Amino acid sequence: MNPDEGVGRRIRFLADHNFRDAIVTGLRHKHPLIDIITARDVDIQLLPDPQVLAYAKEHGRLLLTHDKRTMPGYLDELLRALPAGEHGPGGFVVPQRMATGKAINDLLLIWEASEPEEWRNRLTFLPL
């Protein structure tokens, strides 16, 4: 098991390079204890999407993205390549046109009411 993962721990998010800053800022403002980093924060904004997913997996983070077109396929490829019994990252596809407040509220609900293990190995499309 990755040292950054663990049953009963809070969700930790990684927002990819094109994820709206207003959502990240709103999440941080509404709940200062939320653990959310951006691709820019960890200097991976220029990496291809498969490597961003690999980073999320390695660091026990759930990905936040607006990329509904290619990200699901990249996650499927990553999951197929994993050894038996190993888990991949998961994440959330937030529609680009989703209202900022709605996106913030949905992600806060997920963060407050669930555990990381519930979301790994899949991308979930918002709204819930």
Q: What is the pTM of this model?
A: 0.91
Who's near 7: CB < 8 A, 6+ residues apart? 115, 117
The pLDDT of residue 128 is 85
* CB 122, CB 71: distance < 8 Å: no
SS3 74: helix
Query: Tens place of pLDDT for every residue, the chain, 128 residues?
Result: 344 444 458 999 999 999 999 999 999 999 999 999 999 999 999 999 999 999 999 999 999 999 999 999 999 999 999 999 999 999 999 999 999 999 999 999 999 999 999 999 999 999 98
- Cα 90 to Cα 16, 29, 30, 103, distances in angstroms: 13, 24, 23, 17
